[in-house]
Amino acid sequence: MVTNAVDLSEALEAFRAHKVMTIEQLSTLLGISSRNTHNHLKKWKAITSYNQNGRYYVLPDIPEFDSDGLWSNDAIHFSKHGNLRMTVVHLVDTSEMGLDGKVIGKLLKLNPRSFLSHFGKLPDLLHRKKIGGRFVYFSRQVARFEDQLRERMEYRETTISSLLPDVAGIRVLVEKIHNPNLSVEQLAKRLQNQAVSVTSKQIEDFFLCHGILKKTPDSVSL
């Protein structure tokens, strides 16, 4: 069945009203094959979702992209940078000191374990380096990678030094060695009883920065 200009105009209006649609929904709306519908989507320069298996489309004038070039319609996510792979590479390349899996997942509103493991097998896309017990993803561009790594290590050193005073840090480490099975909450309470001013959050961050604490699969193995 061939659609006329009025049909296409009405279809575009309906498409905008729905904001996002699948190719199957559009094919039904237009009364034409999926192949012909795909041709229309190309002409309209429709954007494909980077999740939901790329099943959803949106017209380019609909999304209000954020500063990272991302936009969501409920649980359907789109990027001005392209598909998921291209988007991750762009986010990492433009970051100041690389990105770990937890941050990438938060930006993309996706579980990082569902996709980041593939990037470790694609060294031509990103450089992956384990720092402080977790993987951090850096640009594959040599100069950019060196700048990002330097920024990451400087930030890490500053963060570690600001977490706990040297004396408190030593007390935490000694207590951990003597009582390896205590949780961070139990360690904090034990040290507080010894007049050491420290919180469980400080101990947790201190251990994570030193690669002592394996907090979650997301933060450690990605």
Q: Which of 154, 174, 198 is the last residue of a domain?
A: 154
78 or 9: which leads in pLDDT: 78
Where is mean pLDDT largest: 7-21, 62-76, 122-136? 62-76
**Lowest-confidence range among 44-53, 115-124, 185-194?**
115-124
pLDDT at 16: 95
**63 belongs to a structural domain:** yes
177 vs 184: CA distance, rounded Å: 13
Residue tagged 């899996």 (tokens):
101
Confidence class for position 152, pLDDT limits 50, 70, 90: very high
Statement to judge: residues 2 and 78 lie in one domain: yes
> Does residue 105 sit in the same domain as residue 117?
yes
pTM of the model: 0.73
pLDDT category of residue 213 using cuts at 50, 70 and 90: low
The CATH number that applies at residue 150 is 1.10.10.10
Final residue of a structural domain among 82, 103, 126 = 82
- Residue 77 shares a structural domain with residue 88: no
Examine residue 93 and state whether it is found in any structural domain, yes or no: yes
75: part of which helix (H) or strand (E)?
none
Q: What is the domain extent for residue 127?
A: 83-154
Q: What is the pLDDT of residues 19-35, one digit of tens each?
A: 999 999 999 999 999 99
Whether residues 122 and 180 fall in one domain: no
Same structural domain, 98 and 126? yes
Query: Using one digit for the tens of pLDDT, what is the confidence trace for 61-110?
Result: 999 999 999 999 999 999 999 999 999 999 999 999 999 999 999 999 99
Query: CA 106 from chain center: how many Å?
Result: 5
Q: How far is CA 54 from each of CA 23, 109, 112, 150, rounded to the nearest angstrom?
A: 10, 15, 17, 36
Spatial contact of 20 and 48, defined as CB atoms under 8 Å apart: no
Quick one: 69 and 106 in the same domain? no
Residue 148 near residue 97 (C-beta atoms within 8 A): yes
Residue 182's region, left for phi above 0, alpha for psi from -120 to 50, else beta, is beta
Do the domain assignments include residue 210?
A: yes
For 118-154, give one letter per residue: b (16+ CB within 10 A) or e: ebeeeeebbbbeebbbbbbbbbbeeebbebbbeebee
Residue 41 lies in a domain: yes
Query: Does 70 lie in the same domain as 5?
Result: yes
% of the chain residues with pLDDT over 70: 87
Residues 140 and 70 in one domain: no
* Domain presence at residue 222: no
Buried b (16+ CB within 10 A) or exposed e, 67-76: ebbbbeeeeb
Same domain for 66 and 116? no
- Which of these three, 35, 56, 82, is where a domain ends? 82
Q: Could you give phi then psi for residue 28, rounded to 5 degrees?
A: -65, -40
Specify the number of domains making up the chain: 3
